[in-house]
Amino acid sequence: MPDLSSADSKDEPATEELEPGGAGGASLGGASFDALGFTREEIEAAALEGRQVAGRLDDPTALRLLQVGEISVIGRLLSASNGTFFCLVDGPSAGRDRALTATCVYKPIRGERPLIDFPDGSLACRELGAYGVSVASGWDIVPPTVMRDGPLGPGMVQLWVEVDPSVDVVELARLDLPELRRIAVLDAVLNNADRKGGHLLPLEGGRIQAIDNGLCFSVEPKLRTILWRWRGARFNEDEVAVLQRLRVALAGGLGAELRELLAPDEVRATAGRIDALLSRGRFPLPDRNRQAIPWPPF
Ligand SMILES: Nc1ncnc2c1ncn2[C@@H]1O[C@H](COP(=O)(O)OP(=O)(O)O)[C@@H](O)[C@H]1O
Ligand SMILES: [Mg+2]
């Protein structure tokens, strides 16, 4: 279940000025049942029981709902390092006359904690860029993510995915699973400086998604991850094919998308990292002169 405080809690400087303002306004019980998503009643009942709830939406439906739906802040995520909010998003479902509701995460740019090694207010764009790379990879690693205005100003909004509570993430992160290898490949491309265990979300059925991808795309090498198991190992055919596909995408549509979100040299550095990974044909090795594991690791 999400560890929440009320939406207007003010216990951290990053969110001192954050007030839910016009949060929500969606009438309770306004949404009717839809087989693709949860109704507001279902979500609220589950949340009251302390269960984690999520939309069961296909990606195009989720993206549209996240982009145009009405966001209401339910609470602030206590485990988060930024001003990060657990929300409901209500909206129409594509091609139907019925309403849909899903749970989502909303990270307003003004809630971002300043960092010394990333420009202020840039994390939401980096999260969106990571989603774009995940989509282009075809690996479906990052949950549907959009950038939009919200009750606390512009920010990133991401579909809340439901984690399989029976999976022990500490155990999981030690396993030699193709899903984890793919995340490790994607992180090498993204130059992810913060791949913690808690950012790996095991879903029912064995899929693993990866969240909190704000600390990506630096031009400096910063790979910090708990997924070093395959360090120096040769990429398999599928991994090479995906790296090649990403390199082509970066020269086209993905490159254009990233240039809207990142500095030009950050997009060039991403292409450079893929070229280096392809020419070496192997997973990267930790650099002795840099911290290689995020803190805390979980
Ligand atoms: N899309 C999501 N689906 C399910 N849980 C999420 C999602 N995004 C965040 N969470 C949960 O919320 C916590 C805080 O989110 P996170 O992205 O780590 O925020 P921050 O950038 O502030 O650290 C995560 O550790 C995870 O438990
Ligand atoms: Mg986090």
pLDDT tens-digit profile of 83-127?
999 898 888 665 555 567 888 999 999 999 999 999 999 999 999
Of ligand 1's listed atoms, the one at least distance from the Cα of 104 is 1
The pLDDT of residue 77 is 87
The pLDDT of residue 3 is 59
pLDDT tens-digit profile of 229-271?
999 999 999 999 999 999 999 999 999 999 999 999 999 999 9
Strand spans (E) along 161-294: 200-202, 208-210
The pLDDT of residue 35 is 33
pTM for this prediction:
0.87
The pLDDT of residue 10 is 35
In this structure, which ligand is nearest to the CA of 105? 1
Residue ranges for the chain with pLDDT beneath 50: 1, 6-36
Cα(31) to centroid(ligand 2), Å = 31
d(CA 88, CA 107): 13
The pLDDT of residue 100 is 78
| Cβ-contact 72, 87 below 8 angstroms | yes
Number of CB atoms found within 10 A of residue 57's CB: 22
Cα(4) to centroid(ligand 1), Å = 11
d(CA 211, CA 192): 11
d(CA 133, CA 258): 9
The pLDDT of residue 45 is 74
| Cβ-contact 200, 210 below 8 angstroms | yes
| Cβ-contact 224, 193 below 8 angstroms | yes
Q: List the chain domain ranges.
A: 14-280
